[in-house]
Structure formats: structure tokens, C-alpha cells
Amino acid sequence: MSAYLVAHVKVTNPEAFKAYGAAVPAVVEAFGGRYLVRGGDPEVREGNWTVPRLVIIEFDDLEAARRFYESPEYQEILPLRLAASDGTVALVPGI
């Protein structure tokens, strides 16, 4: 069953965030992840959208998503994101 990494991110330092943005796609791909959503500028139709940047990455299963997030490769670049943004990241099983 597919699983998803879902992140709500507010970039606080766009220049510094570029290094993370350039490095992370190769790591996602190496762990079998596929971006479904990566960005902002939603067309809000209802409610009050408060997410500046939404990222959804699909993995084959929850274990693959965990392997990605916990991998030394991702942990090496994670400080780049943490230093340049605020946000929430969750791993969510699909249906």
C-alpha cells in the first residue's frame, strides 16, 4: 500500500533553502519516492488556506517512506531545510 510524506513548509530564508531544494530530489528518487506536489500558489476554492508550501511525496509503502526520512543521505541535508524554513512533516499511509 502506498504511503506519503506530507510537508507544510514556510520558507524563512529563500536563498539558503535553494541548497536543500537542489539536493533533496536525488535522495527522494534514490529511495523510490515520487513527487506528487511540490510548491505553493494553490487555487483556493474554500476556506482559509494557511499552508505556504505543500509537498507530497509518494512511496511504495510506509517502510520505504521511513527509510527515506531516516536515511543518512536525507539526515545529511535535513539541517539545510531546518535552518531555512519552519514546518510540519508527517508520514501517512495510503488507502
Other beta carbons within 10 Å of 85: 19
Domain-by-domain residue ranges, the chain? Answer: 3-43+52-93
For the entire predicted model, the pTM comes to: 0.93
- What is the Cα 89 distance to its own chain's centre? 7
Question: Given the DSSP bridges, would you call strands 34-39 and 53-59 parallel, antiparallel or unpaired?
Answer: antiparallel
User: For 3-43+52-93, CATH number?
Assistant: 3.30.70.100
Other beta carbons within 10 Å of 27: 17
What local confidence, expressed as pLDDT, does residue 39 receive?
86
> Tell me: the pLDDT tens digits for 2-18?
999 999 999 999 999 99
Distance between CA atoms of 16 and 1, rounded to whole angstroms?
A: 35
